[in-house]
Amino acid sequence: MITDFLLKKFVPEYTGKENAASDQEMRKKIGTLGSATGMVLNILLSVMKMLLGFFIGSVAITADGVNNLSDAGGSLVALVSVRMAQKPQDEDHPFGHGRIEYLGALVVGVLIAFFGVELIKSGVESIIAGKPSAFSVLSLVLLVIGVVVKGWMSVFYRRLGKMSDNPTLLAAAKDSMGDAVSTTVITAATLVSHVTGWPLDGYAGVLVALLVLKAAWDVLSDTVNRLLGGKPDRELGRKIVEMLTSYPGILGVHDLVIHDYGPGRCMASVHAEVDSQCDIVEIHEVIDTAEREMGEALQLPICIHMDPVVSGDEKTEEAKEQMAAYLASLQPPLQLHDFRRVPGDKHINLIFDVLLPADMKKTDALLSGIQAHARTMDARYRCVVHFDRDYFGASTH
């Protein structure tokens, strides 16, 4: 309800995820809304908890307030990074500045990790001191308010992050949920300490710190993976293959690569197999149409390379089927493409590409097996094999 009101108030042109993820101006507005809201709420929570922790002598509550202050700083970083990411292309950055959003998420993760370490230090010092914190009904009420606010912020960030494909907001959503759990733990420890007299404040502080460090690890690992060029969007790959193979004259698809230049700024390249005997002008028009229509539908530039394949030759088709069956019988099952059969004076070359899993390193034994199997098909067969990497998984091919 509150999220819908804020969207209607500050992003009135929003009509759905497909609209928000591709419209860079709208992404900026949604990112600004999320970051500004988070900054205000985190500052309020931080002031409330640090004052409360100071007056009742609670290390855990004070540490939780400091954590909220780091979240406010993270929101400021997110606000700046989202706006900087909208800078247009220039001579030094021909693909834009979209990856600044990933750097923003990285800074948020580093801030979370830093304060997690500081919280552990404070918690250990409190355990050593062994002094219980004071208790009041007001402190309990304020802690419960903190849990509710942080829970709502997590949902709020996650919704805005998903609708605009914003990694910084998604990172903030994880952190907010961790904060809600942390404050819940502190609330429970405060009640138990009041009832039993046990000095649990320091232990609660350490537990909060561990939860904070877990959130930092999740944010940092996901962001670093994106910056290093992690596995591309499998669902997007499936859509590209599905759409391209629906066009007349496209016999198959391979060598699909998606280049990520930041949220909403992807580019794709793919090879489309066409009959070598088809009219080159007609199939070129089909390819042009596919590039234009798919680019508009998926909101990404796509470059389609035509790969002519021989069809109708019985001996070539028979050899291709036999080799494909052999590759499919291996573990893991493999696929081939761009198959050609080239007769010579003494040998017949089978020229083709084999699609390998991205983590498969050694190919010597595989190549020897392929050569040996080819000779069982025909003693004159010799294989010329090129190994490709499958970045999406066989289900997209």
Residues 241 and 387 in one domain: yes
Lowest mean pLDDT among 91-95, 122-126, 186-190, 283-287: 91-95
DSSP 17-46: HHHHTT-HHHHHHHHHHHHHHHHHHHHHHH
pLDDT of amino acid 383: 93
The residue among 114 and 92 whose pLDDT is bigger is 114
**pLDDT at residue 243, as a whole number:** 93
374-390 average pLDDT score: 90
The span from the CA of 77 to the CA of 83, in Å, is 10
pTM for this one? 0.56
What single string gives the DSSP state of each residue in 253-306?
A: EEEEEEEESSTT-EEEEEEEEEETTS-HHHHHHHHHHHHHHHHHHHTS-EEEEE
Same domain membership, residue 239 and residue 220: no
Q: At 195, which CATH number?
A: 1.20.1510.10
> Which of 18-27, 197-206, 264-273 comes out lowest in average pLDDT?
18-27
Are 97 and 136 contained in the same domain? yes
> Quick one: 212 and 238 in the same domain?
no
- 109 and 203 part of one domain: yes
Cα 348 → chain centroid: 46
Residue 156: per-residue pLDDT: 92
CB 65, CB 87: distance < 8 Å = no
What are 268's two structure tokens?
A: 């794709």
Quick one: pLDDT band at residue 248, thresholds 50, 70, 90?
Answer: very high
Of 140-154, 190-204, 379-393, which has the strongest mean pLDDT?
140-154
User: Which residues does residue 67 pair with via DSSP β-bridges, in sequence order?
Assistant: none
Closest CA to 73 of 111, 115, 45, 31: 111
What are the φ and ψ backbone dihedral angles of 270, each rounded to 5 degrees? -155, 150
Q: How many CB atoms lie within 10 A of CB 27?
A: 25
pLDDT of residue 23: 63
One domain for residues 17 and 164: yes
pLDDT, residue 244, reads 93
Mean pLDDT lowest for which of 220-224, 304-308, 378-382?
220-224
Q: Which carries the bigger pLDDT value, residue 178 or residue 95?
A: 178
Task: Quote the pLDDT of residue 15.
Answer: 66
Alpha helices in the chain (DSSP H): 2-10, 17-20, 24-56, 59-84, 100-129, 137-164, 167-196, 201-227, 234-244, 280-298, 314-328, 364-377
Half-sphere exposure at residue 171, Cβ-oriented, CA atoms within 13 angstroms: 33
What share of the chain has pLDDT > 90, as a percent?
22
* 315 and 183 in a common domain: no
Last residue of one domain, picked from the residues 195, 227, 259:
227
Residue 202's Cα: distance from chain center in Å?
36
Number of neighbouring beta carbons within 10 Å of residue 313: 12
Q: Quick one: pLDDT at residue 395?
A: 46
Dist. CA 87–CA 95, nearest whole Å: 10
Sheet holding 381-390, edge to edge: 335-343, 348-357, 381-390
> How many angstroms separate the CA atoms of 124 and 128, rounded?
6
Task: Give the residue from 208, 227, 246 where a domain finishes.
Answer: 227
Instruction: Tell me the residue type at 161.
Output: G
Residue 68 has pLDDT above 90, yes or no: no
Domains in the chain, number: 2
Query: What does the pLDDT read at residue 193?
Result: 84
Q: Say if residue 186 is in the same domain as residue 286.
A: no
User: Which of 227, 249, 273 lies at the terminal end of a domain, its last residue?
Assistant: 227
* Least confident window among 121-135, 146-160, 292-306: 121-135
- CA trace torsion 219, 224, 226, 232 (10° rounding): -100
Q: Kindly state whether residues 223 and 257 are assigned to the same domain.
A: no
Q: Count CB-CB contacts under 10 A for residue 238.
A: 16
d(CA 174, CA 229): 22
User: What's the CATH code of the domain at 302?
Assistant: 3.30.70.1350
Q: 101-142 pLDDT, tens per residue?
A: 677 778 778 877 887 888 788 778 878 877 666 777 888 888
149 close to 47: Cβ distance less than 8 angstroms: no
Residue 381 has pLDDT above 90, yes or no: yes
Identify whether residues 201 and 261 lie together within a single domain. Answer: no
Q: Which helix (H) or strand (E) holds 350?
A: strand 348-357
Look at residue 256 in the predicted model and tell me its pLDDT. Answer: 87
Residue 161 has pLDDT above 90, yes or no: no
Q: How far is CA 17 from the centre of its chain?
A: 16
Could you tell me if 378 and 315 are in contact, meaning their C-beta atoms sit under 8 angstroms apart? no
Same domain assignment for residues 187 and 292: no
Q: Is there a single domain that holds both residue 297 and residue 355?
A: yes
Range of the domain at 274: 234-396
